Amino acid sequence: MRKILVAVAMVPLLALGACGKSEECTPELAQKKTEELTKTIQEIVTKDPTKGAAALTKMQEMTTKYANADEKEACKAIDELLASIKE
């Protein structure tokens, strides 16, 4: 469970990477997306720990991959991750 909480706590780091000058991905939008992602992962972990672990792995991979990405790419990555874990 501690691993899950640490992973979910990493999500705001991705949102910070998503913030910048782009009008398409404002800090507020990135925060909203991050909150939705965090809530979704928490719900998945509660309902199905195996699927939750897979979602956390995807999130960790995305966080690493897009840590230094521009804001547009980071927002897109959050959207793609949300779509993939909701399937």
Angle at 60 between CA 57 and CA 63, to 5 degrees: 150
The per-residue pLDDT for range 71-86, each reduced to its tens digit, is 778 788 889 999 988 8
pTM above 0.75, yes or no: no
The pLDDT value recorded for residue 69 is: 76
The per-residue pLDDT for range 7-61, each reduced to its tens digit, is 555 555 455 444 444 447 777 787 788 889 889 999 999 999 999 899 989 888 8
The per-residue pLDDT for range 25-36, each reduced to its tens digit, is 777 787 788 889
